[in-house]
Structure formats: structure tokens, C-alpha cells
Amino acid sequence: MTGTLIRTVRKRTAAVPTTDGARLHATVEGAEDAPVTVVLAHGWTLSQAAWDDVAGLLADRVADGALRLVRYDQRGHGRSTWSSPTHPESGLSIDRLGADLAGVLDQLVPTGPVVLGGHSMGGMTIMCLSATRPELFGDRVRGVALVSTSAGDLASDPRSAGGRMARIRPGVLTAALTGAGLLERLRGLVPPTHPRHRTVVRDLLYGADATDEMVLEGARIMHASSLRAFIEFLPALGDHDKRTQLDALTRVPVEIFVGDSDKLTPERHSAHLAEALPAARLHRVERTGHMLPQERPELVVDGVLRLVAGATGRDVA
Amino acid sequence: MTSTTRTHATPSPGAGAAAPREVRVAVIGSGFAGLAMGITLRQRGETDFVLLERAEDVGGTWRDNTYPGAACDVQSHLYSYSFAPNPDWPRSYSEQPEIQAYLQATADRYGVRAHCVFGAEVTAARWDDDARRWQVWTTAGEFRAQVLVSAAGALADPTYPDIPGLDTFEGTVMHSARWDSSHDVSGRKVAVIGTGASAVQIVPAIQPQVESIAVYQRTPAWVIPRTDHPVKPWARRLYRLVPGLQRALRGVLYASREFLVIGLAKRRAFLKPVGRLARAHLHRQVRDPRLRAALTPDYTIGCKRILISNDWFPAVSAPNAELVTAGIAEIRPRSIVTRDGVERPTDTLVLATGFHVTDLPIAERIRGRDARALAEVWAGGMVSNRSTTVAGFPNLFLLVGPNVGVGHTSMVYMIESQVAYVDDALRTMAAEGLAVLETTPRAQEAYRELIARKSQGTVWLGGGCASWYLDEHGHNTTLWPDFTFRFRKLTRALDRENYVGIPAGAPVREQGEAA
């Protein structure tokens, strides 16, 4: 054995195959025998890098062996692929993302307690998982953090940016997808470093306290995602509705976070979730936008650690 | 001939177990250079020679580098012998099996395989000034030769990284040049150390099969698109019918690659479009800004070898891949630990860490007139006359020696230039009845100055990188820093004035030093 001079954290990269031929890029950090695993699902047109600040704050706990951290790129985002051409994407839905998350759990975390965290579309992903695999909740899944997300009805809010986008007609989307190459090139003309680009991103996604550095980092992550991810998931987000299928989530501790300046999934969506999940803790965060995990990572980490404590406490018995 | 070979094929542990075999020329190696030398010897009517080959087959670098995806970065129409065109190349850039098959077929066709002594690794060679012959000890017996040609190659002996704990690793370790095809990488957790020319071929070839692949990168490389395509059957028929066509194509490829020299060695501004091409290639293939940044070199393109690949970037951004830029702190039995404290489980370790190029191991084994090893003489940097001969080492010719390397075009062109030079030297020796031919220190110094002058202002010295082209003193001792046709001109005929010759039968003097 060689002398150990530095404290080390185990890390591995995994490609999780889905039932329809996609491969999801996942990063697993921490000891395999950690008492609990935290699995984080990111939002639309982002990637697992959107959790970097949260992961950074959790790093010590991961290194101590207190928890294992799994992050993955949703299909079509980051390094994850789309389904194989032999499995035509028959109406991409958020339910499909729920099934992907189930695959991540089955293959990377087959045993032991789990805490799930989802931001925006990632939160919807968890709701879909709870609707299709309710048996996991309470048994395997011991806690859920829902950040800047919604149980549905996104399209009916005409004032929200999400609502406005969800009303874009499918024909327009198809046309956009066909011209994606051209649009990509046009998009390249206004890179994230461009002041105008950052102004748009800041106005849409961030609260008053966000630093320029934060906005640039977020813009970079979004710029790296493909137009296809933007276009293909847009109608799916509008169709997402799990408002009457949240029963499984009542069985586990839930922490809900929302920024008061969130324009994509405004406060009322989180308020509705809190109503449907009476035991859940709702955190309304001032001067904060949709990118809450990046804007207030310490709050999210506190919530996750409360859930981890609860999950392991029960596990000891 | 072959029967004699057999006698010596058995390694004799004790010296003097068998009498040394006398030959006129002994060639070390049977790769592209050794075979070219052997073929030339045959064609000038020389039959009294051997090719001493440590392995059991011809091919050299192309025999040894069997890793998945191994292929040449120069088009086959150019990367082949001028005297042995092959109309049947299946691809524009051929893969290792085709190139090796070509070398085997060429060795057979020109009758040099019969001159090969396989399993004969040269352990030592010494100039015997009294006998005026080279004594060569090999694992297949002792040889004595009037002329020794070292065609041992520059990409012959793998370098292994000096990483703590490498010897404690319990999984499979393979150098790219010593690939173990019996080890199935599918489903493995693979680590690849190095991101040079071998790594960019291996990683895309194995990435789809492995469970995960971590690529440990020290310095990113500039990568340009590879315009590889299969050669259509009708084109092959055409090359067969009209050999001149293939020659013309070869000329076009040669000329177009030679244009790069203007940028590499003369005016660096000419590299700008190549740099733009590489940057655009990276941008097109890698979306993630962080990965893109990690893959963007900070030195001028051309300073290190320019790589060509269409699938390297997609492979390192695949779902099961990770590019690791933190330096390796140590290797543990089942994992690799980087300096940032991250430990990655690993069961297969691929060392794509290159070769001993500026410190050729063969140089330690060849001892000249004053019994000093070539490596000792070269301690301050490799020196030579015309990349081929060294003062103090009579009747020794080096192929693929110092300052003959090229990164932009076919090494075979350089080899053929050198072989022509050796050929002319042998012709001169025969014509003048010389037993000994030795270059002078003055000629060597003049050549060193020539190289230094030509290297001034080149991208290799001024491009802001550390590369295997430069020795530990930062001198260019490996690359030919000019148009390759200038090297050919320089080696077209023996520069007799730079040599001292001793006629056969002349009394043995103390030193054959020139005034």
C-alpha cells in the first residue's frame, strides 16, 4: 500500500443506458458505502454543472463519507445523448425524464436510502418518478428537495415567462428545429460574454443579488446546451401536470424552495406544492430568481442536509 | 544464408560459444528504415549483410503499435516507399494492419527477409580500431561488420511515466506501443495517461466499449480534422493501370504538406489559418465551455505535433468519459489519485506516454573508437553530420537519428534521403578502396550550427511549449527544421570533404583525426 498524504474523494463517471437507447452522463462522488446518497436532477437547458455550487458546499461531507453525491445530465443535455434513432422520440415528456431518473437510481444506487433534489425541470422529474414509482418513496427515497419548480399549469400563467414560452406553437418549434444549425450559428454571434446576452439572462433568471460572475457562469452552462434541448422540451414542460398525483411525496420529508423574483416558475407554483404537501417546508427566498441553486446554494445545502439527517436517522434503526 | 542465420539464432549465454559471424554490413532494425537500407543494399548487389531485429517480424514501429485505432497521420500514398507504390491502399490514411502488411510484403518482394536475424536484440556494439570492424553483440549471437547502420528508430522504446505507486497497480497496465490484445477492455474502468498522437487514436477506439474512460491530460493538443476516406475500387484499378497517377498524387500530397513548413519554420503568420481551423474544429465538436477550455492549448499551433482526428473530441465528451486535468499524485492498487484529492476507481491503465526520442536507448549501446558510448558523446545534446554520421564512430550510419524527424510530412521521405546518402558513402568506400570512413568534428559542428540557425524562429523553439522535439537543454535535436527537399539535397551525395578515409591495407594509426 502506498502512503496516503492527501484526503481523497472517490469519483467515477458512468454512462447510464435508458430503455430507449439514450445514455445519461452521471458523476458519482463519495464512498460506495456512504449511509445515504443524494441524487440531483438539473433543469431545462442546463446540465449537472448547475449544481456545482451546491456540490462544492457538500464536498466536505462527501469526503467525510457522510453522503454520496450523484449528479447526472438529463437526456439531450450536457453529455447525455438523445434516444437512439431506432427508438423514435414519440412525444418527449417529463414522464420520460422520471423514467430516466428511475434508471439512474436502479443502476447507480440500487440499495440504501436516497435523498432527491430537483431544480425546475429536475423537480418535475422527481414528481413524475413519484407518480410512476410511488413504492420507492418512503422506502428508498427518504427526502426530496424541490427547488424553483412546479407541479403543472405552467402554460396558463400568461404573465410568466414560462407561460409565454409554453404558448409558442408546435409548428414554430418544428421549423426552429429544422433550422437548428442556422439558429445555432446565429446564437454563436451573441456569446455569454456579450453584455446583452448577460442582461437578458439576468433579467429572466436571476434575482437582485446575483453577481455578474454568477450570471456569466449560468449563461455559459445554458449556452452549452443545444437548441434541440430547448425546442424538444418546451412543449413537454407545458404539458407537465402532476397536481393530482403527488401522493407519494406526502410520505417523505420535502423541502420546497422558491425565489420571490422567479419569472419561470413563479411563487404560486411552490405555494401550490406546499398546499398539496402539508408536511413540506416551504422556503420563500427574497431577492432571488429562478437560478436559486446558484444564487443561494447554502440554503439548498441546509435543506439537503436536513433531509440527509432524517434519512440516515431512520436508517440506523 | 538462412542456414548460417539459424546457427546464430540460438542465444549463446557464454561468450565464444559460437564464432562471431562476419558480414560486410549489419543493420540494426527492420522497420521502415532498416528495410529501406536492406532493399538498397540488395539493389546495389550487396548480399553480405544482416538486419538484426529484436522481435520476430519486420515492421518496427508499425509492428509494435497494435493498439486499437492505430493509424498513420500521413496519407498512405505519401507514407510509403517511393520505389514500392501500393495501388491497393484501402483508405487514404491507412491503419496499422495495412501498413504492417505493406512492410511485410515489401520485405518479401525485395528479398530482404532472408537477411533478417530475428530475436537479435543488439546489446552492445563496439568499434574495433585494430580490426577496423564493428563488433556487435546480440541476443542471437555475435556479429562482426565493416559497416554498422543503426535503423533502430526514434519511436521504438516506450517511455513509462514516473508516477508514485505505478508498480503497485493491481489492474492491467499497458503502454500504447505494447498493447495486449488478449486483455478485453469492454466493461472496464479505463484510465488513459497522455493526450498525444497515440491517445487520440486509442480513446475513440475503445470509448464505446468501456464502462468509463478517464483521460489524464497534461497539455492539450491542437487537433485538426482528418479527411480520411476509403479508396474506391475504381480508383485502385486506375492506380494500377496508370502508375504515374499515383506518383502525381504523391507529389501533390508532398507539396501541400511542405507548405506547412513555411508556417512552422519560416513565417509563423502562415500558421494562423491552421490555428483557426483547429479552433473551429474544437468549437464544432465540444459544446461544454469548461471542457472546451481544458482542451484549448495555450501555445502556438505546431509547437507540439499537430494531431488529426474527427473522433477525439466526441470521445472525450461522451457520456462515459472524463477529461482529467489535475495532475496525478499517485497510483493505488485499484485507483488513481489526482493532486486535487480525487480518487478514480481504475482497473485498466493505458500509458500513452510516448517514446525515448531525445535519449535514444540504442545510443547507450554503441561505443566508438575511444570506447565512449554514443549516449556519452551526446550527453550535451545529439550531434551529427547530416543527421547520419558521428565523429569518433567510424563506419557507423544512423537512420532516423538526430534532426531528421518531421511532424508535418512522411518520415519515409527522410529515410529514403538518408539511405541514398549511406548508399553513396558505401559507393565511395568501394570506389576509393576505403576500409574506414569517418566524419570530422568540424563537419559535425558546422551541421550543428546549421541546425541551430535553421531552428531559430521556428514554432518549435518559440511557440511556447515543451515538446518531445526538444532535448533537456531546450535544443532542437530531433526535427529537421526546414523544407524536407533541402534535406534531400544535402544528402543526395556524400560530402566527401567532411570525411576522413583510411584505405584498406593502410597501417593502423592512433587516430584517424583530420587536421
> CA-based angle B270:B275:B279, to the nearest 5?
160
Distances (CA, A) of B225 to B173, B250, B285, B440: 30, 20, 11, 45
Please enumerate in sequence order all residues whose Cβ is within 8 A of that of A67, keeping only pairs 6 or more positions apart, or say none: A30, A34, A35, A36, A37, A38, A58, A61, A115, A308
Cα(B357)–Cα(B478) distance, rounded to whole angstroms? 7
Cα(A163)–Cα(A208) distance, rounded to whole angstroms? 22
Q: Which of B320, B330, B331 sits opposite A13 (nearest CB)?
A: B320
Instruction: Answer yes or no: do B303 and B423 share one domain.
Output: no
Instruction: Answer yes or no: do B207 and B330 share one domain.
Output: yes
Instruction: Answer yes or no: do B323 and B203 share one domain.
Output: yes
Domains of chain A, by residue range, sit at 11-316
Instruction: Answer yes or no: do B94 and B182 share one domain.
Output: no
Cα(B465)–Cα(B444) distance, rounded to whole angstroms? 28
pLDDT tens string A21-67: 999 999 999 999 999 999 999 999 999 999 999 999 999 999 999 99
Interstrand relation of B335-338 and B307-308 (parallel, antiparallel or unpaired): unpaired
Chain B: give the shortest CA distance to residue A202, in Å: 19
Instruction: Answer yes or no: do B70 and B152 share one domain.
Output: yes
Residue A275: predicted pLDDT: 95
- In this prediction the pTM is 0.90
Q: Taking CB atoms and an 8 Å limit, are B288 and A80 in contact across chains?
A: no
Could you tell me which residues of chain A have a Cβ less than 8 Å from any Cβ in chain B? 1-2, 5-16, 23-27, 47, 49, 63, 73, 78-81, 192, 220-221, 223-226
Instruction: Answer yes or no: do B304 and B360 share one domain.
Output: no
DSSP-assigned states of every residue in B245-302? HHHHHHHHHHHHHHHHHIIIII-GGGGHHHHHHHHHHHHHH---HHHHHHTS-SS-TT
Cα(B484)–Cα(A142) distance, rounded to whole angstroms? 69
Instruction: Answer yes or no: do B429 and B498 share one domain.
Output: yes
Sign of CA dihedral B458, B463, B468, B472: positive
Chain B: give the shortest CA distance to residue A2, in Å: 6
Which grid cell is A233?
422540451
A219: closest chain B residue by CA = B289
Residue A89: predicted pLDDT: 55
Which residues of chain B does A27 touch, with a Cβ-Cβ cutoff of 8 Å?
322
Which residues of chain A does B169 touch, with a Cβ-Cβ cutoff of 8 Å?
none
Query: Is residue A268 very low, low, confident or very high in pLDDT (cuts 50, 70, 90)?
Result: very high
Query: Is residue A200 very low, low, confident or very high in pLDDT (cuts 50, 70, 90)?
Result: confident
The answer to whether B494 touches B421, Cβ cutoff 8 Å, is yes
Instruction: Answer yes or no: do B66 and B208 share one domain.
Output: no
Cβ neighbours around B48 below 10 Å, total: 13
Question: Which of helix, strand or coil describes residue B226?
Answer: coil
Residue A316: predicted pLDDT: 37
Instruction: Answer yes or no: do B401 and B320 share one domain.
Output: no
* pLDDT tens series, chain B, 515 aa: 333 333 344 444 444 467 999 999 999 999 999 999 999 999 999 999 999 999 999 999 999 999 999 999 999 999 999 999 999 999 999 999 999 999 999 999 999 999 999 999 999 999 999 999 999 999 999 999 999 999 999 899 999 999 999 999 999 999 999 999 999 999 999 999 999 999 999 999 999 999 999 999 999 999 999 999 999 999 999 999 998 999 999 999 999 999 999 999 999 999 999 999 999 999 999 989 899 999 999 999 999 999 999 999 999 999 999 999 999 999 999 999 999 999 999 999 999 999 998 888 999 999 999 999 999 999 999 999 999 999 999 999 999 999 999 989 999 999 999 999 999 999 999 999 999 999 999 999 999 999 999 999 999 998 899 888 888 888 999 999 999 999 999 999 999 999 999 998 888 655 444 43
Q: Taking CB atoms and an 8 Å limit, are B329 and A9 in contact across chains?
A: no
**CATH architecture of the domain with range A11-316:** 3-Layer(aba) Sandwich (3.40)
Task: Report how many domains make up chain B.
Answer: 2
CATH classification of the domain holding B323: 3.50.50.60
Give residue B22's domain range: 2-157+356-439+482-503
Q: How does the average pLDDT of chain A come out, rounded?
A: 89
Which residues of chain B does A223 touch, with a Cβ-Cβ cutoff of 8 Å?
289
Sign of CA dihedral B409, B411, B417, B418: positive
Which residues of chain A does B331 touch, with a Cβ-Cβ cutoff of 8 Å?
2
Residue A162: predicted pLDDT: 58
User: How many beta-carbon pairs under 8 angstroms link A with B?
Assistant: 81
ipTM of the complex: 0.88
Which grid cell is A39?
441524487
Instruction: Answer yes or no: do B256 and B380 share one domain.
Output: no
Interstrand relation of B189-193 and B212-216 (parallel, antiparallel or unpaired): parallel
The answer to whether A25 touches B319, Cβ cutoff 8 Å, is yes
Query: Is residue A175 very low, low, confident or very high in pLDDT (cuts 50, 70, 90)?
Result: low
Cα(B327)–Cα(A90) distance, rounded to whole angstroms? 45
Which residues of chain B does A82 touch, with a Cβ-Cβ cutoff of 8 Å?
none
The answer to whether B49 touches B146, Cβ cutoff 8 Å, is no
In a domain, B247, yes or no: no
Instruction: Answer yes or no: do B136 and B181 share one domain.
Output: no
Residue B294: predicted pLDDT: 97
Domain's final residue, options B303, B332, B351: B351
Q: Taking CB atoms and an 8 Å limit, are A23 and B320 in contact across chains?
A: yes
Residue B274: predicted pLDDT: 95
Which residues of chain A does B288 touch, with a Cβ-Cβ cutoff of 8 Å?
47, 49, 78-79, 224
Chain B: give the shortest CA distance to residue A10, in Å: 4
DSSP-assigned states of every residue in A11-24? EEEEEEE-TTS-EE
In sequence order, which ranges of B59-117 are alpha helices (DSSP H)? 61-64, 96-109
Cα(B30)–Cα(B107) distance, rounded to whole angstroms? 9
Instruction: Answer yes or no: do B33 and B172 share one domain.
Output: no
Look at residue A2 and tell me whether its pLDDT is greater than 60.
Answer: no
Cα(A235)–Cα(A154) distance, rounded to whole angstroms? 11
Domain's final residue, options B307, B328, B351: B351
- The DSSP secondary-structure symbol of B464 reads S
pLDDT tens string A231-249: 888 888 888 999 999 999 9
Q: Taking CB atoms and an 8 Å limit, are B189 and A14 in contact across chains?
A: no
Q: Which of B164, B337, B345 sits opposite A12 (nearest CB)?
A: B345
Q: Taking CB atoms and an 8 Å limit, are B329 and A5 in contact across chains?
A: yes
Please enumerate in sequence order all residues whose Cβ is within 8 A of that of B56, keeping only pairs 6 or more positions apart, or say none: B118, B119
The answer to whether B363 touches B356, Cβ cutoff 8 Å, is no
- 3-state SS record for B162-222: CCCCHHHCCCEEEEHHHCCCCCCCCCCEEEEECCCCCHHHHHHHHCCCCCEEEEECCCCCC
Query: Is residue A181 very low, low, confident or very high in pLDDT (cuts 50, 70, 90)?
Result: low
B287: closest chain A residue by CA = A224
Which residues of chain A does B330 touch, with a Cβ-Cβ cutoff of 8 Å?
2, 5
Chain A: give the shortest CA distance to residue B341, in Å: 4
Q: Taking CB atoms and an 8 Å limit, are B322 and A220 in contact across chains?
A: no
Cα(A293)–Cα(A284) distance, rounded to whole angstroms? 13
Domain's final residue, options B302, B336, B351: B351
